[in-house]
Structure 1
Amino acid sequence: MVLTDNMEAMIEASRVFANLTRQKAVRDYLSKKQIDRIMITMLDSGNREVVYISCGVLINFMVDEDKRPTLKAEGGIRKLIEVLRDFSRTDWELASLVCQILWNYSGKITSANNCFGEQESQELAELLSELLDKNSALNPSFQEDIDEDMLDFYEETWTDEFCPVAEQLHHRIVTHQSDLEPLDNPGNS
């Protein structure tokens, strides 16, 4: 049902996965059935609702350390950067979900370049810097033909939902961004 051309069926199935993946046993089972890979693929759908629901499922999968490598292996880091770039200024809730996925994914980070990829790490740091700048993020040119109430909503969502997780993620990336590899602790050898 997930691979069907019927977008409504795909959306409903994904919603069910979002609810079910709150439990580890279900995440383990669905990962064996490659649902995590399917959710990563669906990030390319271009359909905001599908992307949003896929992000909700991926947040849950990234809680489990053993499921994190799939995100990078399937090109999910790159896809999430594109989602952030494409949707953030018109959907700060979705942008905050992307940041939450990347926050969960990078929980055991020692090097941003190793964790995300060298190019991806740099792009993420730059994009987050741009999106955390209020003048850039809330630039009216991105919200043409929107009434004052919606502009207030965008700013509130940016401030309350996006900024807290984006600031933490940005800090994590820049503090772990180096060409140097961490040394093993000699006491643990």
Structure 2
Amino acid sequence: MKDLKLIDLANSISQSDLVVRIVFILGNLTAKNNQAREQFSKEKGSIPTLLSLFRTFYQLDLQSEKRAGEGDQQPQVQRPLAQVEDVLVKLTRLLANLAIHPGIGPALAANRHVVGLLLATLEYKSIDDCEELVINTTATINNLSYYRVKNSIIQDQKLYIAELLIKLLVSKNMDGILEAVRVFGNLSQDHDICDFIVQKNDFGPTDWQLACLVCKTLWNFSENITNASSCFGDEDTNTLLVVLLSFLDEELALDGSFDQDLKNYHKLHWETEFKPVAQQLLNRIQSHHTFLEPLPIPSF
């Protein structure tokens, strides 16, 4: 990639086959090579060109979605529309790879146009519509959320990102769930995100795998805990204790109106996935929490 000269892809929009191939190759070159990432970013106009491509193909895809919703889409245009989506898949993969570089990632995280397009993609695409695009987009957000820089748009939009990712957490797609959890793992160092997770920690009885992933996120958040109340806040600490104690009580946790097969299914995931992680989290919180109330310093 030493002599890479970036083609002006913006002029090749009508040739989506060519765009897909070029962006695919760039994605491969930057997949595991930090030098390639740096070399690409130094090419004049490389990042703005990618952003221009992203915006253009996002708009094309959005327009096609609207036409399809209105029943105007004809069978003969299916292939070009699929190619438009394929370009977005390859573009988000390339952005995710570039974001790994410590000199590029923070700049992308602070670029409101990049983050805006990523979030817009998650807004209108579901994991059922286009699994690869949603997962690549979430992976890019995950890589960008790693950088805790002051001007990070990711950090500014963290609660909105959390809201968008809840859709992934409650999906049936395990790859999507894992990508969402990785983002929560990065963002959960923030108290607002921790509060958000605690508020959403009421789906245990219906999905023990998801409850397990939430517990893992809270475990990561509390890695350097010295005091539970300082870490989670007084109210959230007490809420977590009540929720965890309830969910770890087998009779309470599995007391649902399920048939025997479904009850066995829930019990299996409760015992093998949720219970071990939740018990560790409970032990950590209890060992760093006290119900004793210190008296205030008296005034003389």
TM above 0.5, one fold? yes
Q: 1:117 to 1:58 in 2, by over 3 A?
A: farther
**Matching of residue 41 in structure 1 with residue 163 in structure 2:** yes
Change in Cα spacing, 1:21 to 1:34, as seen in structure 2 (3 Å) is closer
Query: Unaligned regions of 5+ residues in structure 2, if any?
Result: 1-117, 293-300
Q: Which residue of 1 aligns with 2:226?
A: 110
Q: Deviations over 1:89-108 (max 9, x none)?
A: 01000000000000011000
C-alpha change, 1:157 and 1:119, in structure 2 (3 Å) is: same
Alpha-carbon distance, 1:40 to partner: 1.9
Q: Does 1:178 align with 2:290?
A: yes
1:6 aligns with 2:124: yes
CA displacement at 1:79 relative to structure 2: 2.2
Report which of the two structures shows the higher radius of gyration computed on alpha carbons: 2
Report the Cα distance in structure 2 between the residues aligned to 1:92 and 1:135, rounded to whole angstroms. Answer: 15
Equivalent position of 1:69 in the other structure: 189
Aligned residue identity for 2:194: I
Matched AA of 1:100: K
CA–CA separation in structure 2 for the residues paired with 1:11 and 1:178: 48
Q: Counterpart of 1:161? A: 273
User: Higher RCO, 1 or 2 (CA under 8 Å, sep at least 6)?
Assistant: 1
Checking the alignment, whether the CA contact within 8 Å between 2:119 and 2:161 is kept in structure 1 is: no
Name the CA distance, whole Å, in 2 between partners of 1:120 and 1:11.
36
8 Å contact kept, 1:77–1:116: yes
Kindly, what percent of the aligned residue pairs are identical? 26
Instruction: Please report the RMSD computed on the Cα atoms of aligned residues, expressed in angstroms.
Output: 3.7
Query: Aligned pairs, how many?
Result: 169
The structure-2 alpha-carbon separation of the partners of 1:134 and 1:80, relative to structure 1 and needing over 3 Å to count, comes to: same
Matches within 5 A, 1:21-170: 27-28=145-146, 32-34=152-154, 37=158, 38-42=160-164, 48-49=170-171, 56-57=178-179, 59-61=181-183, 68-70=188-190, 72=191, 75-85=192-202, 87-141=203-257, 143=258, 147-170=259-282
- Shift in CA distance, 119/57, structure 1 to aligned 2, threshold 3 Å: farther
Matching residue's letter, 1:155: K
Task: Return 30-39 or 88-97, whichever deviates more.
Answer: 30-39
- Deviation (angstroms), 1:178: 2.7
Unaligned 5+ runs, structure 1: 181-189
Question: Secondary structure at 2:119's aligned position in 1?
Answer: coil
What secondary structure does 1:110 align onto? coil
Distance 2:260 2:237 in 1: 36
The verdict on how the C-alpha distance between 1:62 and 1:49 changes in structure 2, with shifts beyond 3 A counting, is closer
Q: For 1:17 and 1:101, how far apart are their aligned partners in 2?
A: 20
Q: 1:15 pairs with 135, 141, 146, which one?
A: 135
Instruction: Tell me the equivalent position of 1:183.
Output: none
Q: How does the TM-score come out when normalised to structure 2?
A: 0.47
